[in-house]
Amino acid sequence: MAVLVAALTILVWPNIAAAEDGYRLWLRYETLPAAEGAALARRAGAVETDESADPTIAVAVAELRRAWPSMTGQPLAAGGSGAAILIGTPKSPRIAALRLDLSGAGEEGFVLREMQDGGRPMIVIAANRPTGALYGAFHLLRLAQAGTLPDRLNVVERPRVKLRMLNHWDNLDRTVERGFSGQSIWDWWKLPTATDPRYVDYARANASLGINGTVLNNVNAKPDTLTAEWIAKAAAVADVLRPYGIKVYLSARWSTPVELKQTKTADPLDPQVAAWWKAKADEIYRAIPDFGGFLVKANSEGQPGPQDYKRTHADGANMLAAAVKPHGGIVMWRAFVYSEVDPEDRAKQAYSEFKPLDGKFADNVIVQVKNGPIDFQPREPFHPLFGAMPKTPLVMEVQITKEYLGFATHLAYLAPMWSEVLEADTFAKGKGSTVAKVIDGSLDGHELTGMAGVANIGSDRNWSGSIFDQANWYAYGRMAWNPDLAADTIATEWARQTFTRDPSFVQPTVQMMMGSRQAVVDYMTPLGLTHLMATGHHYGPGPWVDDLARPEWNPAYYHRADKNGIGFDRTRTGSNAVAQYAGPVARRFADRRTVGDDFLLWFHHVGWDEKLPSGRTMWEELVARYDRGVAAVDAMQAHWERLAPMIDAERAREITQFLVIQKQEAIWWRDASIAYFQSVSGRPLPQGVRPPAHDLEFYKAIRHPYAPGHH
């Protein structure tokens, strides 16, 4: 037996050693081709600093020392006279002596320069603060890994957005709301004493993108989060993340003091309530001196809030803001609200509630607005609050986890969706008032700026549930650093670091990624349709659902299909949601000739037999879009069959299998949707179109009580 085990070990071991399970993300530091590795080693053969006592510089140096020999294939020199990387801030005598202009680097940016230092060739990573130096180190490694290091380095970068946040929707029992990649990485039960080494790798990955804040717990928060027991756990995580420039924040439940039986009310204007939060903030800051602040979901989807006491969102936010203000903390107050009693179009409600509060928030409050007016759908127009609250800094919140875009198994690269919103012109101050300019503060002169991404990170070995979902984490971080970065540029640098630099792999992979989100739109919610997912878990189609307690939870509320036509009239003849946008935008959306395919049924109710610019009728076009979505997945599969052999078998296999799932589910979406809409439209299927595999009742009967991510 022992002999057999030994023999098996020998057989199996090489595979294990070469295992590519995705754990290393984009920080793989594979050995470069020999000539390139040697050239890199000549440019720098050692890593030097005067500031190794600084914890952030220390982790930057550690990262460089781990990556450099791994990429060059040569050990680092012990020190001395050869070419080297020199990293630090002006506190370092050697950096100060170089007299670099660091004004362009700001608080968190960096300068990368190749220059002579006492006759030695140096790659200099210099920054005003240690965190900037850490970001510079990661930038250097990104360029080296991606094979895009210029001959003479001369880079100046600084982040455009101040708060680059992840929002974990992680519960205290380690389940994750809308998480499809295992359990929460926060092993609360073992904290604060045991800290999983994974927290360090989490910090490295985030720091490599410039992410500088993380909200540890779900916006649907429990009062327990703010007990001494849990504060200690959060503090232990904060200690691990701190050297990487990442601050910890917590989601706070509005009614916490009442539920902990420490106050009688949660009325924000009650002095006892304000005193409780002030004492709580003091307690948190004693444990976490650089605590970032609170994220709050209030009076939204059943969560308590200041309106329970007839106070406004501003009253609530400002009371909390006063509690954290002496410590330099902030409050991120979410604008994701819609009422269970208000019959008004849900797409209008957040604007109606928040716009009148513009100018009423304290200066350490930032209002967090989802990218679109409904809820993280495969495509939404930009949220009308962007550009409408010039006196209030707004965070744009996007969902990295794919609640509505096929969970972790569908390949859907989300950067094109985020760019679409960031590039959208609000016309708030005339042409060129893009959402990106609202977010980076340049439009209205705000210093406090932010982006928030609902994390897709979990305990799965590959972190994100699939290899391609790692690209969404990556792209989110890169875009939070620079909202103008192009989605395909990001995909290219990600693919080159994650897989290989071989252009015959990278190019078609990037092409596949770039088209993938539109494919999802086409097979789930084409032409501006939205929110047609099945109830609760949001997995699979449910366009027929019309019997849920709240009207705006029903897909039928959104598509409004009847025997005459389909779509939600949001023009003047309907809910007039278009009027929440600035003039030129409102006019474009309101006009059938200018609204475009993407938002046609978002803003208009269109007759089934009306002719569209394609020459097809509405009904024919709808069917054609569903077919186009399925065909796009077919094409992805065909591409991948050719590409898979170019990478390691382990990751290739997962991608191949997930594409099979995506194909099956794209067909399910198409067939179920066509079966349903045909039952409403009564129109025959256009010629040559394949009928759904089953009748409508079959699709309606499908149940998924154990779908992941539900709460």
577 forms part of the interface with ligand BDP (CB under 6 A): no
Distances (CA, A) of 637 to 71, 515, 562, 632, 664: 32, 13, 36, 9, 12
Residue 93 preceded by cis peptide, ω within 30: no
Interacting residue with ligand BDP among 170, 177, 345, 425 (CB under 6 A): 177
67: helix, strand or coil: helix
Shortest Å, Cβ 375 to ligand BDP: 4
51 forms part of the interface with ligand BDP (CB under 6 A): no
Q: Please enumerate in sequence order all residues whose Cβ is within 8 A of that of 622, keeping only pairs 6 or more positions apart, or say none.
A: 526, 527, 566, 677
Interacting residue with ligand BDP among 74, 183, 220, 255 (CB under 6 A): 220
Q: Rank residues 108 and 375 by Cβ distance to ligand BDP and give the closer one.
A: 375
Beta carbons of 276 and 263 less than 8 angstroms apart: yes
Q: What is the size of the binding site for ligand BDP (CB under 6 A)?
A: 10
Q: 70 exposed, middle or buried (CB, 10 Å; 0-12, 13-18, 19+)? A: middle
Q: Specify the DSSP class assigned to residue 580.
A: G
458 to 517, contacts with ligand BDP by CB under 6 A? Answer: none
Beta carbons of 468 and 517 less than 8 angstroms apart: no
Shortest Å, Cβ 220 to ligand BDP: 5
Catalytic residue among 170, 345, 375, 569: 375
Catalytic residue status for 375: yes
Catalytic residue among 50, 224, 301, 597: 301
Catalytic residue among 108, 403, 627, 665: 403
138 forms part of the interface with ligand BDP (CB under 6 A): no
* Helices of type H across 78-227: 93-98, 130-146, 198-209
297 forms part of the interface with ligand BDP (CB under 6 A): yes
Beta carbons of 648 and 20 less than 8 angstroms apart: yes
Q: Rank residues 95 and 296 by Cβ distance to ligand BDP and give the closer one.
A: 296
Question: By C-alpha distance, which of 252, 249, 248 is closest to 222?
Answer: 252
> Amino acid identity of 240?
V
Q: Specify the DSSP class assigned to residue 609.
A: T
Q: Rank residues 297 and 625 by Cβ distance to ligand BDP and give the closer one.
A: 297
Shortest Å, Cβ 466 to ligand BDP: 20
Q: Rank residues 177 and 420 by Cβ distance to ligand BDP and give the closer one.
A: 177
The contact mask relative to ligand BDP for 607-646 (x = CB under 6 A, - = no) is ----------------------------------------
Q: Specify the DSSP class assigned to residue 213.
A: E
Interacting residue with ligand BDP among 108, 345, 375, 460 (CB under 6 A): 375
Structure-token pair, residue 293: 């602040």
Beta carbons of 329 and 291 less than 8 angstroms apart: yes
Q: Rank residues 403 and 627 by Cβ distance to ligand BDP and give the closer one.
A: 403
Shortest Å, Cβ 399 to ligand BDP: 7
Which residue bears the tokens 């992680």? 170
Shortest Å, Cβ 83 to ligand BDP: 50
How large is the angle between the packed helices 649-681 and 618-643, nearest 10 degrees?
170
Shortest Å, Cβ 449 to ligand BDP: 21
396 to 415, contacts with ligand BDP by CB under 6 A? Answer: 403
336 forms part of the interface with ligand BDP (CB under 6 A): yes
Shortest Å, Cβ 566 to ligand BDP: 23
Interacting residue with ligand BDP among 122, 191, 219, 236 (CB under 6 A): 219
Q: Specify the DSSP class assigned to residue 250.
A: E
Question: By C-alpha distance, which of 129, 106, 141, 58 is closest to 481?
Answer: 106
Interacting residue ranges for ligand BDP, rule: CB under 6 A = 177-178, 219-220, 297, 301, 336, 375-376, 403
Q: Active-site residue numbers?
A: 301, 375, 403
